[in-house]
Amino acid sequence: MKTREEYIESLKKLNLEVYLMGEKVDVPTEHPIIKPSMNSVAMTYELAQQPEYEELMTATSNLTGEKVNRFAHLHQSTDDLIKKVKMQRLLGQKTASCFQRCVGMDAANAVYSTTYECDEAHGTNYHENFKKYWERIQREDLVVDGAMTDPKGDRALSPSQQKDPDMYLRVVETREDGIVVRGSKAHQTGIVNSHEVIVMPTIAMRPEDKDYAVAFALPSDAEGIFMIYGRQSCDTRKMEPNADIDVGNKNFGGHEALMIFDNVFVPNDRIFMNGETDFAGMMVERFASYHRQSYGGCKVGVGDVLIGATALAADYNGVPKASHIKDKIIEMNHLNETLYSCGIACSCEGSKMKAGNYYVDTLLANVCKQNITRMPYEITRLAEDIAGGLMVTMPSQQDYDNEKLRPYIDKYLQGNADVSTEDRMRILRLIENITLGTAAVGYRTESMHGAGSPQAQRIMIGRQANVEHKKELAKNIAGIKKK
């Protein structure tokens, strides 16, 4: 397994084509806006090397029998599913941001089981392709991004009905040795910090959408691939001199990017679906369920940091004993542990797939993510309530470093006399970062839209809830006889 340092060195060897604020980035690993997100991924390597976290951060591969980073593991039991959620909570606690490696892990487990069943039905060889590919990922301990979300264009139209056929990624040419694809994948978490990308369909497909039912893997620096880095609130603070306090979370962060595939060649041995429209929906549903489970870990870990920061803000404001403050912090913990409970529950209720890896309980995974679309917003509201308006009105670090201004800032922004004004400013900036700033991408807004919109989960809950069975239970209790 790679060390943190080996991971960073391996990124430097990639020939990525990345654009940020209209300019090409020559060395992404050194760019001040990108670097904190790289540090978050590096933490997945760092913790895997530490004996106290070995049980959570590593696993034994079913493909090679070797020890691998859990982010490269194919779940072999419900215990693996549980440890996944616990690992994600740990990393959220360590980074207070998105550590970006979950999408590839969830994609791999979905593709592994779907290709097995697709091969059974169609006599294809996708599962063997994927196994050989994933053995290499495990052996080299690579970061793999998962790419599912297409721009979608007019949502009322299917992929093949779009005015611009590239609104969903598609096969534009078939060759003897592979295929050529064109299109885009949006909101790509961590792609600039990834060695590889697994591409999947984004919705269930009809037979006429055959060209869009495609799944494959490529190096992130393959010819024809480039990324346009997404803006985040307060992101340019990372580029300012003397802005250590203002950034809030100076070491860690997340990122998203728009990923373009401009007539990209995919070799045959890297193709995992090509035209099998009857299995596109299965791959989408399985990935979505795994990823909705993930949110019961990562968002909870970041929530732990936010709750801690909020409790410190109360201390620094001089109000830790106020009954309403205590009650609000209790409510924040109640909501956060509720989210964690759902992540653990859908893992405990998981089951073995035909391919041999384990899958979460779909209903409970969707309930988990539906709660994530709501509860972090209330946790955020309570954090902002307790922190106070100073969180978004206080002067900058450059003001604080000014010899004339500093005595006045120290004097008038003092809270608890036993706490320095600088420490008070630092904790308020951390809360701002998590709730409004760059980390909000990995906490607040992503809680709403990541792994599918709230309505997507409600549709799945409606399908999985088995209301007809519940009607029969009620009829039996009420003594209503079958006609």
Return the structure tokens found at 41. 């991924």
Residue pair 142/195 in contact (Cβ under 8 Å)? The answer is: yes
Nearest CA-CA partner of 458 in 292, 278, 319: 292
Query: 357: Cβ–Cβ under 8 A, 6 or more apart, which residues?
Result: 62, 74, 75, 76, 109, 112, 113
Of 45, 73, 98, 234, which one is the catalytic site residue?
Answer: 98
- Specify whether 298 is catalytic: yes
- Specify whether 234 is catalytic: no
> Would you mind telling me the total number of residues written for the chain in this entry?
483
- Specify whether 256 is catalytic: yes
Q: With residue 343 as reference, give the H or E element that holds it.
A: helix 323-348
Dihedral (CA of 468, 473, 475, 481) sign: positive
Nearest CA-CA partner of 171 in 258, 17, 256, 277: 277
* Torsions phi, psi for 195 (to 5 deg): -80, -35
Return the structure tokens found at 403. 């010899």
DSSP 205: -
- Specify whether 446 is catalytic: yes
Return the structure tokens found at 451. 């792994």
Nearest CA-CA partner of 213 in 152, 170, 160, 153: 170
Of 73, 112, 127, 298, which one is the catalytic site residue?
Answer: 298
- Specify whether 362 is catalytic: no
- Specify whether 31 is catalytic: no
What torsion, rounded to 10 degrees, do the Cα atoms 296, 348, 188, 166 define? -130
- Phi/psi region, residue 452 (left: phi>0; alpha: psi -120 to 50; beta: rest), is left
Nearest CA-CA partner of 88 in 233, 294, 259: 294
Residues known to be catalytic: 98, 102, 189, 256, 291, 295, 298, 446
